[in-house]
């Protein structure tokens, strides 16, 4: 291979300067390989000539009146730009492909090799329609000059399968006409991991599930054992006991901790929408379907954990589809025929009696046994009241910081009140009660006057003594008082209950029932 020499010539900026430099090269029979020209500069790449040294050539160039400097350089400006661009293309994690106006591949970086499983030397100089597909969006970009963003592409070949997200831009000439196109590619798994890293909620560990009672200790031990494997887990417990906290803790203690944890409430999403959310859909599967389709939460949770809360609310149709995933490890998008393999661990939870639902034909027995491989029963708060002081103090400390309050403790009487209550709403209700007390408390210690445990206690003014008579009456109480008064007035102005019923516009039986409810004593004159 012929050796080359590169040098820069600084000149006065005038017409014909480049031609004068070329005449000198021609005079000594020097073969020019490349040349760039700019205002006051010329950069040249020539073949080395053993009979002519650089110093000799430099001396000859400087004899030209308007040549000011001659210096040897490593690269021409264009070569330097190409080196920098190549370094960027080699370093980026996104695949980059460029084509000319005829669809010939001109650029194919290492990331593109990895994503598409094709070597650059097999791709560059070839038609992209032959190497990849004739239906790629960048081919349309070359024709129309239109850009595109985040298009999902799946390419299948005998050797491999590629699944990626691509965005493309046209390469335009000075007149704005497309002369090529460039596209970026991101492997779908990398995209989903990136999305997950930005969107994942704060994950919970077993250390953050508070409680020292024997019951909660045993549940945590079972859950920790469950975390080590891949079997399905069914978490049972009343509303507010912390089923999702346990699900997140199991995920974080499992080998899948660095993969997505996706939580879905089966009761919160309509059945038809839930199916497309879980399994995804193909383009055109239904009216309003996103162009290019959508991958579902099963695929998003691939290699991770899918938490199905309120599994007892799942329709029979979706129970069948879920059972199929558990049996075969494959999903099928809505409107699609292709079976897509997924590796997802299922953790389900419910507060329903699934055994009764099975007997009533509302929950499939085969799905029940698939889900109930490792059952985890979370006890209600009323069965582990010894944990209430620990939970209450933790909530006070946490909420004091959040609400910027000086509350730091709870009085013995207030704690006794918490211990005596049965907590039908469990830990969620306890959190609600403590937060309410924090809002009502202007001191450092929560007292009994700050604890409102039952809904009817809202009828009393927070600062006034209980039962002072100054409480605001509920709508139900007001209606009852008015109704009782109306019945008494009708009875006073009637000779019988039947006549009072006619005055009130209701049946005789209704008046008798209301009299019983309101404790109105019967008088002989009111009965026929």
CATH of domain 4-78: 3.30.70.260
**206-377 and 382-459 share one CATH topology?**
no
- Report the DSSP pairing between strands 105-108 and 95-100: antiparallel
What is the architecture of the domain spanning 92-191? 2-Layer Sandwich (3.30)
Report H helices in 34-92: 54-62, 77-91
Phi-psi region of 103 (alpha: psi -120 to 50; beta: other; left: phi over 0): left
- Encode pLDDT of 137-192 as tens digits: 999 999 999 999 888 888 887 777 888 889 999 999 989 999 999 999 998 777 76
Q: What is the largest CA-CA distance in the chain?
A: 141
- Encode pLDDT of 199-211 as tens digits: 455 568 898 899 9
CA distance 503 to 200: 65
> What order of strands is seen across the sheet that includes strand 345-350?
261-265, 305-309, 345-350, 233-236, 374-377
Running DSSP on this structure, what letter comes out for residue 93? S
Q: What is the pLDDT of residue 154?
A: 83
- Topology annotation, domain 382-459: Helicase, Ruva Protein; domain 3 (1.10.8)
What are the angstrom distances between the C-alpha of 151 and each of 138, 266, 283, 488?
A: 11, 29, 12, 74
End-to-end CA distance of the chain: 127
CA distance 18 to 37: 7
Contacts for 45 with CB less than 8 Å, ≥ 6 apart? 4, 5, 6, 32, 33, 34, 35, 76, 79
- Stretches where the chain sits below pLDDT 70 are 1, 192-203, 284-292, 454-475, 522-528
Contacts for 272 with CB less than 8 Å, ≥ 6 apart? none
Q: What is the pLDDT of residue 467?
A: 40
Domain boundaries, the chain: 4-78, 92-191, 206-377, 382-459, 475-526
CATH of domain 475-526: 1.10.10.60
Q: In percent, how much of the chain has pLDDT > 70?
A: 90
- Topology annotation, domain 206-377: Rossmann fold (3.40.50)
Q: What is the pLDDT of residue 461?
A: 44
Q: What is the pLDDT of residue 339?
A: 87
- Encode pLDDT of 338-381 as tens digits: 888 999 999 999 999 999 999 999 999 999 999 999 999 999 99
* CA angle (104, 107, 113) in 5-degree steps: 105
The pTM of the full predicted model, rounded to 2 decimals, is 0.56
Phi, psi of 167 (to 5 degrees): -130, 145
């Amino acid at each position: 291979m012929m050796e080359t020499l590169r040098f820069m010539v600084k000149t006065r900026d005038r017409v014909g300067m480049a031609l004068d430099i070329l005449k000198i090269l021609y005079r000594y029979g020097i073969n020019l390989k490349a040349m760039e020209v700019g205002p006051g500069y010329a950069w040249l790449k020539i073949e080395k000539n053993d009979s002519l040294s650089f110093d000799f050539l430099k001396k000859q160039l400087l004899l030209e009146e308007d040549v000011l400097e001659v210096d040897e350089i490593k690269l021409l400006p264009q070569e330097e730009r190409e080196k920098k661009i190549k370094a960027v293309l080699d370093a980026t994690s996104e695949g980059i492909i460029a084509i000319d106006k005829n669809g010939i591949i001109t650029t194919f970086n290492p990331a593109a090799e990895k994503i598409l499983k094709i070597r650059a030397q097999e791709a560059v100089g070839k038609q992209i329609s032959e190497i990849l597909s004739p239906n790629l969006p960048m081919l349309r970009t070359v024709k129309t000059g239109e850009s595109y963003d985040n298009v999902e592409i799946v390419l299948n070949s005998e050797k491999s399968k590629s699944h990626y997200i691509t965005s493309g831009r046209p390469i335009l000439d000075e007149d704005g006409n497309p002369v090529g196109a460039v596209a970026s590619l991101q492997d779908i798994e990398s995209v989903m991991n990136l999305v997950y890293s930005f969107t994942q909620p704060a994950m919970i560990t077993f250390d953050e599930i508070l409680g020292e009672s024997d019951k909660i200790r045993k549940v945590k031990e079972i859950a920790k054992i469950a975390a080590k494997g891949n079997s399905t887990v069914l978490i049972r417990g009343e509303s507010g006991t912390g089923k999702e906290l346990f699900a997140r803790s199991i995920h974080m203690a499992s080998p899948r901790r660095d993969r997505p944890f996706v939580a879905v409430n089966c009761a919160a999403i309509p059945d038809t929408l839930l199916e497309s959310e879980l399994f995804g859909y193909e383009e055109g599967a239904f009216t309003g379907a996103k162009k290019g389709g959508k991958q579902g939460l099963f695929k998003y949770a691939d290699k991770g954990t899918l938490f199905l809360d309120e599994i007892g609310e799942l329709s029979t149709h979706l129970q069948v589809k879920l059972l199929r995933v558990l049996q075969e490890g494959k999903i099928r998008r809505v409107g699609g025929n292709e079976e897509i393999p997924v590796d997802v661990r299922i953790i389900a939870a419910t507060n329903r009696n699934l055994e009764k639902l099975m007997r009533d034909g509302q929950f499939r027995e085969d799905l029940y046994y698939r889900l109930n491989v490792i059952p985890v029963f979370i006890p209600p708060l009323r069965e582990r009241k010894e944990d209430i002081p620990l939970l209450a103090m933790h909530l006070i400390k946490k909420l004091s910081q959040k609400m910027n309050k000086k509350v730091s403790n709870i009085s013995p009487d207030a704690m006794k009140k918490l211990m005596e209550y049965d907590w039908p709403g469990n830990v969620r209700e306890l959190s609600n009660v403590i937060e309410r007390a924090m809002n009502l408390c202007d001191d450092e210690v929560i007292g009994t006057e700050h604890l409102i445990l039952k809904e009817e206690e809202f009828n009393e003014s927070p600062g006034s003594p209980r039962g002072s008579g100054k409480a605001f009456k509920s709508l139900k109480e007001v209606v009852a008082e008015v109704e009782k008064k109306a019945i008494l007035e009708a009875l006073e102005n009637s000779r019988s209950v039947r006549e009072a019923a006619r005055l009130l516009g209701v049946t005789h039986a209704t008046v008798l029932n209301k009299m019983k409810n309101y404790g109105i004593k019967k008088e002989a004159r009111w009965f026929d």
